Structure 1
Amino acid sequence: MTQPPEIIDIHPHILSDDPAAYPLAPVGGKVSGWAAGRPVTAEQLLAAMDEAGIAKAALVQASTAYGYDNRYVLDSSARHPDRFVAVGCVDPLAPDAAGTVRTAARTPRFAGIRLFTTGSTMPGQAGWLSDESTHPFWSAVQEAGLPVCVQMRIAGIPQLVDVLERFPGVTVVLDHMAYPAIAPGREEAAFGEIEPLAKYPQVFLKLTMRNTVPLETADAGRFLVPLLDAFGSDRIAWGSNFPAAEQPLPELLRLAHAALSVLPEADRAAILSSTARRLYPALT
């Protein structure tokens, strides 16, 4: 019998219980509801991971809590190097963005960058993703080899394509798969919204509860099978979105297992484990 892989979560968030040491400074100036109402510390996340059977995680900076202050995800990764790496936020519009990227690439446990262009506190799609002022940032990212998680909507795909064409060495991970509108009877159309990105081998997809919750009522196979054919399981990785998601971490993993049950075992293993290690080798 094949040994099941260690499960890796590439999209949990953490918040400190010490606001004096880690003061709030959210992107856009507004703290998200989940950050205010159900924060989870690094140690609480570890307990939830142990309960769910999750081995390791890439801690994604809580943009709507700490903005560009990445100290908590970095400090937590340093305290638990066998379990965590950090994905920190960088302001690509800042005058020193390229230098910040180079510093990040030399920082232990700093494994990736996150850009927040939309979300619960920023419902519209920001228009700066491919702006000329961000080119020094993207050039530095390409040189550093750090993967960039981009939280964006489908409307931002033309901007992203511009980045991919200009900087073909940049690895991009789409948070929540850019929110395709998955719904019963709309599975193939939802796949069609992100299918144009399949031809770019540097684009990875992050499957989260934003996708798996709709797949509970939709026909998962009609969305996931063409997705797998187009991108390959080695370009898809699972993330919980805990605790931004209201469900407990074990339930979020159950949702992932249920959605992925339509796929072959080897592909499920890639999405739940090996693709994460490909993106973040320090988790190996």
Structure 2
Amino acid sequence: MHRIVDIHPHVISPDTERYRPAPLGGKQSSWSQKHPLTHEDLVAEMDRAGVEKAVVVQASTVYGHDNSYVADAVAAHPDRLTGVFSVDVLADDAVEKIEHWRSRGLTGLRLFTAGSTMEGQADWLNDPRSHAAWDHATRTRLPICVQMRPPGIPLLRDLMERFPNAIVVIDHLARAVLDDGPRFEASAPLWDLARFPGVHLKLTVRNIDAAGQGTSTVPDLMDHLMKTYGADRVAWGSNFPAAERPLPELVARAREAVSTLPEADQAAILSGTALKLYPALATSPAGAEA
């Protein structure tokens, strides 16, 4: 069986005094209130599900730009976890804040421009005030994880034209329309971003479920991803516990989704691309290649 690296779980502390909620959008997500998950619990669930490593993503709808709990999670489990942090990239001190969280052991930046607690797609993604952060992340090879919806794709395209060497990971395939048939024409702007070699896609159960509806199928989606981006630019993420399914079930769903692909492509999506994007996982004790 292929090894599993998860690039999209979240952790939530029950200690609201030490880790105070300050959600982006001003409203805490319902999933985080119903399914809080400590980092100890995450690692236990990873063991149960056969997940070797994970990239913990800042819960923006709980903690906003305070990444303390993610940093503490990584510090507690350096052999299993790395983390993606969030900062206000429009602020004058954005680069300083990026370096602060990198010094805490975090290895990716997250831009939260759309989500369950926000209306529509934020229009600040390509604000010139963010360019210093983009330039710094590009020069330091820091992956930029973007939570967005399809209307944000033109903004991201403009950023990629300005920063063509940036490493970008698009959460949930930008929540693209995936039920319109095997050519997925409704999401053409997302596929067009493949011309930028630094753009990667994060495949989650949200996308797998969507592709199994309408006139498309999951094998159609896998085939289209291989034709447009290739397996070395697609990585799986659980979105646990926000996905509101047990982690073993999410892992099983991912294995099933990629099962129609060649073995090498399955391995890339389930772990290889993740280790390329977040090499700290590959060099930590349990992350060395067998």
Distance 2:119 2:219 in 1: 29
Q: 1:263 offset after TM fit, Å?
A: 1.1
Instruction: State how 1:172-183 maps to structure 2 within 5 Å.
Output: 172-183=168-179
Distance 2:177 2:35 in 1: 26
Q: Is the 8 A contact 1:32 1:120 kept in 2?
A: yes
Distance 1:8 1:109 in 2: 18
Secondary structure class of the residue paired with 1:242: coil
Instruction: State how 1:65-214 maps to structure 2 within 5 Å.
Output: 65-105=62-102, 107-183=103-179, 185=181, 188-190=184-186, 192-214=188-210
AA aligned opposite 1:211: N
Q: Kindly indicate whether residue 51 of structure 2 is the aligned counterpart of residue 51 of structure 1.
A: no
Q: Alpha-carbon deviations, 1:43-64, whole Å to 9, x = none?
A: 1111111111101100000000
Secondary structure class of the residue paired with 1:54: coil
Distance 2:54 2:145 in 1: 14
- Map of 1:223 onto structure 2: 221
Q: Give the TM-score normalised by the residue count of structure 2.
A: 0.93
For the structure 1 residues 254 and 184, does the alpha-carbon distance in structure 2 shift closer, same or farther, using more than 3 Å as the test? farther
Q: Alpha-carbon deviations, 1:63-97, whole Å to 9, x = none?
A: 00000000101111011001000101111111211
Secondary structure class of the residue paired with 1:122: coil
Structure 1 residues 215-224 or 83-92, which shifts more?
A: 215-224
**Consecutive unaligned residues in structure 1, runs of 5 or more:** none
**Consecutive unaligned residues in structure 2, runs of 5 or more:** 283-290
Q: 1:181 offset after TM fit, Å?
A: 1.1
Q: Is the 8 A contact 1:116 1:150 kept in 2?
A: yes
Q: Is the 8 A contact 2:183 2:224 kept in 1?
A: no
- Map of 1:257 onto structure 2: 255
Q: Is the 8 A contact 2:202 2:236 kept in 1?
A: yes
Q: Percent identity?
A: 50
- Map of 2:240 onto structure 1: 242
Q: 1:185 offset after TM fit, Å?
A: 3.4
Aligned partner of 1:17 among 11, 14, 19: 14
Q: 1:123 offset after TM fit, Å?
A: 3.2
Q: 1:246 offset after TM fit, Å?
A: 1.1
Q: 1:193 offset after TM fit, Å?
A: 4.2
Q: Is the 8 A contact 1:117 1:126 kept in 2?
A: yes
Residue correspondences, number: 280
Secondary structure class of the residue paired with 1:58: strand
Distance 1:237 1:128 in 2: 26
Distance 2:34 2:219 in 1: 35
Q: Is the 8 A contact 2:46 2:52 kept in 1?
A: yes
AA aligned opposite 2:54: A
Distance 2:271 2:202 in 1: 12
Structure 1 residues 265-274 or 4-13, which shifts more?
A: 4-13
Q: 1:190 offset after TM fit, Å?
A: 4.9
Distance 1:281 1:190 in 2: 34
Distance 1:68 1:279 in 2: 22
AA aligned opposite 1:179: R
Structure 1 residues 218-227 or 57-66, which shifts more?
A: 218-227
Q: Is the 8 A contact 1:191 1:226 kept in 2?
A: no
Distance 1:10 1:190 in 2: 26
Q: 1:103 offset after TM fit, Å?
A: 3.0
Q: 1:148 offset after TM fit, Å?
A: 0.6
Secondary structure class of the residue paired with 1:115: strand
Q: Is the 8 A contact 1:184 1:219 kept in 2?
A: no
Q: 1:186 offset after TM fit, Å?
A: 6.2
Secondary structure class of the residue paired with 1:27: coil
Q: Is the 8 A contact 1:98 1:137 kept in 2?
A: yes
- Map of 1:275 onto structure 2: 273
- Map of 2:286 onto structure 1: none
Considering only aligned residues, what root-mean-square deviation do their CA atoms show, in Å? 1.4
Q: Is the 8 A contact 1:180 1:193 kept in 2?
A: no
Distance 1:29 1:95 in 2: 22
Secondary structure class of the residue paired with 1:64: helix
Structure 1 residues 142-151 or 215-224, which shifts more?
A: 215-224
Q: Give the TM-score normalised by the residue count of structure 1.
A: 0.94
Q: Alpha-carbon deviations, 1:217-236, whole Å to 9, x = none?
A: 44122222121122110100
AA aligned opposite 1:77: V
- Map of 1:27 onto structure 2: 24
Q: Kindly indicate whether residue 57 of structure 2 is the aligned counterpart of residue 60 of structure 1.
A: yes
Q: 1:113 offset after TM fit, Å?
A: 0.6
